[in-house]
C-alpha cells in the first residue's frame, strides 16, 4: 500500500505539494509536477478514495436502497440509475432492505459517511416509517412512491391514469363486461391500478361495481382467475390484469379451457415485460419504462447535490404508454400515451 507520503518522499517534496500535483492544482511548477507524477508511476500509487472522501466530505457515491431484487424490474431500475450516475462520475452503493423494517434501518445507517445522497424505494407497507430512519441532512429521492406524508422529492409511475387508459381502450374495442384481476392488496401500484380501472368503468361504462378478482401479481394467480372465470361462468368479454405476469398465467389457462384470445375474450396486462411481445398472440399492455424511473430519480438527486432545493412538490410522474397488440385484436405495436402530463409538477 503506497501512500501519498511515500510518493512525496520519493519525489523529494512535501505531501501537500504531492497532493496538489496529483490533483492538478495550478500552483505547482512543471518540473515539480513531473517529479511527483514520475514517483506516482514508479510506486504505482492509487489514491485512497476512502481517505479522500473523508476530508472532501464528498464520496461521489449514491446509495441505492431497494426493497428486494426481483428480476427485470430491479435490473432496469439500476440500469437507468447507472446510466445517469456514470455520466457524472458517480458510483452506486447497493443496499437491500430485504423486506424487513429492521434491515431498512440498518441499510440506511450503513450508508452514513459512504454516500452523498440516497435513492430509496420504500417497501409497500408503511413507507412513513422511513422518515424516522432517513437523515434529513442527506439528499434523498424516493422511487416509485407517489406522495404521502414525507416531504421528499420522488418519482413515480402514473398507475392510475395508465389503468384508466387501458380500461378505456378495452371499452373502445367494444368490450361490455371488463373484469379486473387485482394485485396484492397492500401494494400501492396494485391499488392505484385498481382505482383507475374502477373509475374508468364508472365514468365511461357507467358500471358502479365492476367485477374484480383477487390476485398477487404471480402467474399462478392469473391462472386461478381464469379458472374462476370459466368455472364460475362469470360473464366477461375482456380481462384487464394488473400486471403482465398474471395476464400470462391467465392466457395459458384460458387456452387450456378452450377459450380463444382475442376471439372469445380480450386480455390486457400492465408493465410490458419482455415476454409480452413474444406471446402468441402478443400481449396488449401498458408500457412502463422502468429504466426511466431510475434515471429520472438519479437526475433529480444530482440536481439536489448541485445545490438546488427539491421537495415533494418537484416530483416527477412517469406516464405509461398503451401498447396495443394481439390479445385485444388490435394492430400489433401501435402505442398511445395515457392522457396525463408526461412530466409534470405534482401536488
Closest CB 47 distance from DNA, rounded Å? 4
Q: Which of 294, 290, 347, 308 is nearest to 139 (CA)?
A: 308
Closest CB 25 distance from a second copy, rounded Å? 20
Applying CB under 8 A, among 22, 35, 111, 143 the residue interacting with a second copy is 111
* Beta sheet of 285-287, edge-to-edge order: 285-287, 321-324, 334-337
Are the CB atoms for 82 and 94 separated by under 8 Å? no
Q: Which region, judged by CB under 8 A, interacts with a second copy, from 43-51, 168-176, 195-203, 326-334?
A: 43-51
| Total residues binding DNA (CB under 7 A) | 30
Residues 94-123 that bind DNA (CB under 7 A): 113
Choose the one of DNA, a second copy, none that binds residue 309, judging by a C-beta under 5 to 8 angstroms depending on kind: none
Q: Which region, judged by CB under 8 A, interacts with a second copy, from 146-154, 224-232, 278-286, 295-303?
A: 278-286
Q: Which of 28, 93, 44 is nearest to 66 (CA)?
A: 93
Residues 1-20 that bind DNA (CB under 7 A): 1, 3-5, 12-17, 19-20
Dist. CA 264–CA 216, nearest whole Å: 25
Q: Which region, judged by CB under 7 A, interacts with DNA, from 48-56, 139-147, 186-194, 299-307?
A: 48-56
Closest CB 281 distance from a second copy, rounded Å? 10
Residue 51 binds DNA, judged by CB under 7 A: yes
Q: Which region, judged by CB under 7 A, interacts with DNA, from 23-31, 184-192, 232-240, 328-336?
A: 23-31
Retrieve residue 297's grid coordinates: 430519480
Label residue 31 exposed, middle or buried (CB < 10 Å: 0-12, 13-18, 19+).
exposed
The beta strands (E) that lie in 199-289 are given as 212-213, 238-241, 266-268, 285-287
Closest CB 62 distance from a second copy, rounded Å? 10
Nearer residue to a second copy within complex by CB, 134 or 338: 134
Retrieve residue 298's grid coordinates: 438519479
Strand partners, 212: 180
The beta strands (E) that lie in 158-306 are given as 178-181, 212-213, 238-241, 266-268, 285-287
Residue 307 binds DNA, judged by CB under 7 A: no
Q: Which region, judged by CB under 7 A, interacts with DNA, from 45-53, 192-200, 203-211, 290-298?
A: 45-53
Residue 137 binds DNA, judged by CB under 7 A: no
Are the CB atoms for 109 and 132 separated by under 8 Å? no
Q: How far is CA 296 from CA 159, 286, 307, 342, in A?
A: 17, 19, 17, 12
Are the CB atoms for 207 and 201 separated by under 8 Å? yes
Q: Which residues bind a second copy (CB under 8 A)?
A: 1, 46-54, 59-61, 69, 71-72, 74-76, 78-79, 82, 86, 91-96, 98, 109-114, 135, 137, 248, 274-275, 278-280
Q: Which residues bind DNA (CB under 7 A)?
A: 1, 3-5, 12-17, 19-20, 22-23, 26-29, 31-32, 45, 47-48, 51-52, 54-57, 113
Amino acid at each position: 500500500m503506497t501512500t501519498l507520503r511515500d510518493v512525496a518522499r520519493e519525489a523529494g517534496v512535501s505531501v501537500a505539494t504531492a497532493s496538489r500535483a496529483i490533483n492538478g492544482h495550478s500552483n505547482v511548477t512543471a518540473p515539480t509536477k513531473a517529479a511527483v507524477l514520475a514517483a506516482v508511476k514508479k510506486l504505482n500509487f492509487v489514491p485512497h478514495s476512502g481517505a479522500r472522501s473523508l476530508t472532501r466530505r464528498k464520496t461521489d457515491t449514491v446509495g441505492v436502497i431497494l426493497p428486494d431484487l426481483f428480476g427485470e424490474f430491479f435490473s432496469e431500475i439500476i440500469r437507468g440509475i447507472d446510466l445517469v450516475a456514470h455520466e457524472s462520475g458517480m458510483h452506486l452503493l447497493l443496499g437491500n432492505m430485504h423486506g424487513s423494517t429492521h434491515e431498512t434501518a440498518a441499510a440506511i445507517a450503513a450508508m452514513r459517511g459512504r454516500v452523498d445522497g440516497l435513492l430509496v424505494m420504500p417497501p409497500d407497507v408503511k413507507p412513513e416509517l422511513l422518515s424516522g430512519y432517513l437523515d434529513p441532512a442527506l439528499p434523498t429521492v424516493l422511487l416509485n412512491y407517489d406522495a404521502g406524508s414525507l416531504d421528499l422529492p420522488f418519482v413515480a409511475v402514473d398507475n392510475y391514469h395508465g389503468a384508466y387508459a387501458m380500461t378505456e381502450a378495452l371499452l373502445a374495442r367494444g368490450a361490455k363486461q371488463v373484469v379486473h384481476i387485482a394485485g396484492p392488496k397492500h401494494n400501492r401500484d396494485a391499488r392505484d391500478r385498481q382505482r383507475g380501472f374502477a373509475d374508468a368503468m364508472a365514468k365511461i361504462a357507467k358500471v358502479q361495481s365492476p367485477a374484480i378478482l383477487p390476485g398477487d401479481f404471480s402467474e399462478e394467480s392469473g391462472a386461478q382467475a381464469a379458472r374462476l372465470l370459466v368455472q364460475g361462468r362469470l360473464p366477461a368479454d375482456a380481462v384487464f390484469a394488473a400486471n403482465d405476469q398474471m395476464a400470462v398465467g391467465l392466457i395459458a389457462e384460458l387456452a387450456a379451457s378452450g377459450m380463444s384470445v382475442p376471439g372469445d375474450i380480450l386480455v390486457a396486462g400492465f408493465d410490458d415485460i419482455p415476454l409480452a411481445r413474444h406471446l402468441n398472440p402478443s400481449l396488449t399492455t401498458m408500457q412502463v419504462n422502468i429504466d426511466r424511473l431510475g434515471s429520472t430519480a438519479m437526475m433529480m438527486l444530482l440536481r439536489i447535490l448541485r445545490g438546488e432545493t427539491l421537495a415533494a412538490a418537484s416530483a416527477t410522474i412517469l406516464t405509461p404508454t398503451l401498447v396495443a397488440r394481439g390479445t385485444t385484436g388490435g394492430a400489433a405495436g401501435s402505442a398511445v400515451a395515457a392522457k396525463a402530463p408526461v412530466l409534470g409538477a405534482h401536488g
